[in-house]
Amino acid sequence: MSDLLRVRPAATPAMLAIFSDAAVIRHALRFEAALACAQAAEGLIGKGIADAIADLCGGAGIDPADLAERATLAGTLAIPLLALLRAELPPPAAEALHRGATSQDLADTVLMMQVVQATALLAVDLDRVRMALHALAELHAATPAIGRTLLQDAVPIGFGLRLAQAAAGVGDAGRRLEGEVAVHARVQLGGPAGSRAGLGGKGAAIAARMAGELGLVAGVPWHANRTGVAAIAAAVGIVIGALAKLARDISLLAQNAIGEVREPAIPGRGGSSSMGHKRNPTGCQVALSAAIRAPGLVAAVLAALPAEEERGLGGWQAEGPALADLFLLAAGSAAAMADVAEGLEIDEAAIARNLAAASVVDGIGESAAIVSAILAQYRKG
């Protein structure tokens, strides 16, 4: 079975791969291997036992469909996964597997590993959007165009000012996301109730070793404190909103009666099933659709914040799917708008015609200077 017809139009293959079943299982196995190796390094288990666990985790063939069915009954991925692994290990290693950890440790750490990869991937297309807009904004910084407020003609601006402001929004959103991930993408190792019981007083050292191996930040257990996940979700939502701002403006400017810009002509994109003359802004459509879906997903993660005592019921279990969907939507939006920005067609004749029709004779104010200031700020950043 496949749900590509549902998810692929809104996401990218690379981001889908990051949140795929295979990736979840791979990260979960890396968690168990890193835990065992860290415990061996700290003297809690023997090196031979850790090697047996790591070797199995490095080559275990886990069927995602079977694991999903088992997890449906168990309520967590960890329980059936550990059962499958223990069945393949000699008794001492089977007993040592997952020692001092709990199911939420595995789930939270896997999610943060995906978040780190997803953020790095998303940054590539966000940079594409920003750099393309910078070039266009600089080129058209002093091109007189009619500004519009409340969807009505206002006073002239430099056409590049609109593009520079959009670039600033995307740049701000991307930096916010990277900052939240840098702080909150931490390894989770708290054990059954967050006290690191069963780790021989070496929980902090073990967590630090795991963080280094898994590419995460070390720190104290956070499974009862969901503010970091909420901050990341909100930051992804802001990225989607910033991209949609650009998409909204381009789609408005591309209307037939305005015609100041057009999306690039890309084979297979923007056509109509019944009207051959149409050139639909379907890149913008991807971003605007994402912006409609994102607030509900962010709200779901915010709703999980009041987690019950040392381990919540239902809240953190809802975060992973919501955060994955947010990153999928952000990736699809960023890729679509990067293509749009890099190939955006700007019709200077239409811009001049619309300005003349507005019968406004004021100059463009300090538009060019503001564009220069915005570009200089982000070059420094």
Higher pLDDT, 5 or 204: 204
Quote the pLDDT of residue 279.
74
Lowest mean pLDDT among 31-45, 163-177, 347-361: 347-361
pLDDT band at 381 (very low <50, low <70, confident <90, very high): low
- On average, the pLDDT of the chain sits at 94
Given a contact cutoff of 8 angstroms between Cβ atoms, the answer to whether 34 and 50 are in contact is no
- The class that CATH gives domain 9-100 is mainly alpha
* Three-class DSSP category at 196: coil
Question: Is 311 known to be catalytic?
Answer: yes
Catalytic residue among 175, 176, 311, 353: 311
* H or E stretch at 152: strand 152-158
Catalytic residue among 272, 274, 359, 372: 272
CATH 1.20.200.10 given to domain 102-186+222-380: yes
Rounded CA gap, 131 and 31, in Å?
37
Buried b (16+ CB within 10 A) or exposed e, 218-231: bbebbbbebebbbb
Reported confidence tier of residue 265, pLDDT bands at 50, 70, 90: confident
pLDDT tens-digit readout, 208-221: 999 999 999 999 99
Q: Taking the model in full, what pTM does it have? A: 0.94
The mean pLDDT of 12-35, rounded to a whole number, is 97
State percent of the chain over pLDDT 90. Answer: 87
Looking at residue 278, its pLDDT comes to 58
- Locate CATH 1.20.200.10 in the chain: 102-186+222-380
User: Which pLDDT belongs to residue 275?
Assistant: 47
Q: Which residue intervals of 21-102 are DSSP H helices?
A: 21-41, 47-59, 64-74, 78-86, 91-96
Location of structure tokens 């070793």: 209
Per-residue pLDDT tens for 278-324?
A: 578 999 999 999 999 999 999 999 999 999 998 888 888 999 999 99
**Least confidently predicted of 31-40, 68-77, 136-145, 296-305:** 68-77
Q: Are 67 and 77 in contact (CB under 8 A)?
A: yes
Cα angle 230-234-239, degrees, rounded to a multiple of 5: 150
pLDDT reading at 140 higher than 70: yes
Residues of the chain with CATH 1.10.275.10: 9-100
- Cα gap 169→334, rounded to integer Å: 13
Identify the bridge partners of residue 153 per DSSP, sorted by sequence position.
148
| DSSP track, 288-357 | HHHHHHHHHHHHHHHHT-S--TTS-SSHHHHHHHHHHHHHHHHHHHHHHHHHHHHH-EE-HHHHHHHHHH
Q: Is 272 a catalytic residue?
A: yes
